[in-house]
Amino acid sequence: MTSETLNVTIDRGAAGLQDYAVPAYDNQTVLDVVSWVQQNADPTLSYRFACRVGMCGSCAMMVNGVPRWTCRTHISKVLDGNAVTIGPLRNLPVIKDLAVDMDPFFDKWVAAEGVHHGAMTRDDPIASLGDDHPEQSGADFGRECINCSICYAACDTVAGNPNYLGPAALQRAWNLLNDAKDEGRMAILEAVSGTGGCHNCHSMGSCTTYCPNELDPMSAIAGLKRETAKSFFKRGR
């Protein structure tokens, strides 16, 4: 750390960019910096967090032009000299300051059929998958997703096409497509091959580059492209 004080610039929407001098500590995340501003400089600053340990996915923001989970990003990793610029997550409507409306993001999970399609009832015995389900590894593909919307913010295709389902929702659809316990194959393929579907993806790979959990939505989307293409040639749809 080059200085005792950090020059923190926060994008506060209509109120514009505002600068704050924040004392530097050895152990300090970007979220700590934002919290310091809210607690000591301006209590009206709005932002969102919950778990502070990278589990809940609520704290993502743009930090020096990169979408990041702020609770797990050490400030020294992102400082430019002793300055940092923090803004609300890209590609989502801003509610106030650093808090964005995540509704469009979650609505698209449902639109991509990212919901469980079960065939059994609570009265049926629990099916055991055992080790002989190689396709189940495909279902594990993006299990660690915390719905933080960083991939959604990183994606230029989302920025250019508001109807595009986006990397997280499509990765979820890919999981379920590979899940031996999910019966929604046709519904999923239908949902991900429409106008906002997987074929919008240009494989720019920003989702995979910036995913904080090192998941690979781009490859999941490539998988969906393969499966929808196969289904098209087999069934004509």
Partner 1 sequence: MSAHGITSRAHPLWLAYILHRLSGLALALFLPLHFLLLGQALRGEAALDQSLAFSDMFLVKIAEFGLVFLLAVHMFGGLRLMAMEFLPWSPSQKTLAAGATATSFLIAVLFFMKAI
By CB under 6 A, name the binding residues for ligand FES: 49-52, 54-59, 69, 71
> Which of 58, 193, 206, 228 is in the footprint of partner 1 by CB under 8 A?
206
Q: Which two tokens stand for residue 216?
A: 């690979």
- By a kind-dependent CB cut-off of 5 to 8 A, residue 219 interacts, out of ligand FES, partner 1, none, with partner 1
Of 224, 116, 235, nearest to 180 (Cα)? 116
The residue from 48, 59, 88, 175 that contacts partner 1 (CB under 8 A) is: 88
8 A C-beta contact, residue 209 and residue 183:
no
Please state the closest distance from residue 72 (CB atom) to ligand FES, in A: 6
Residue 156 binds partner 1 (CB under 8 A)? yes
Q: Which is nearer to partner 1, 71 or 201 (CB)?
A: 201
Say which entry of partner 1, ligand FES, none residue 50 contacts (CB below 5 to 8 A, set by partner kind). Answer: ligand FES
Pick between residue 24 and residue 222 the one whose CB is nearest to partner 1: 222
Quick one: which segment of 107-115, 118-126, 180-188, 220-228 binds partner 1 (CB under 8 A)? 220-228
Other beta carbons less than 10 A from residue 115's beta carbon: 15
Q: With binding defined as CB under 8 A, does residue 48 bind partner 1?
A: no
Residues near partner 1 (CB under 8 A) = 9-11, 17, 62, 64-67, 85-88, 90, 153-154, 156, 202-206, 208-209, 218-219, 222, 225-226, 229
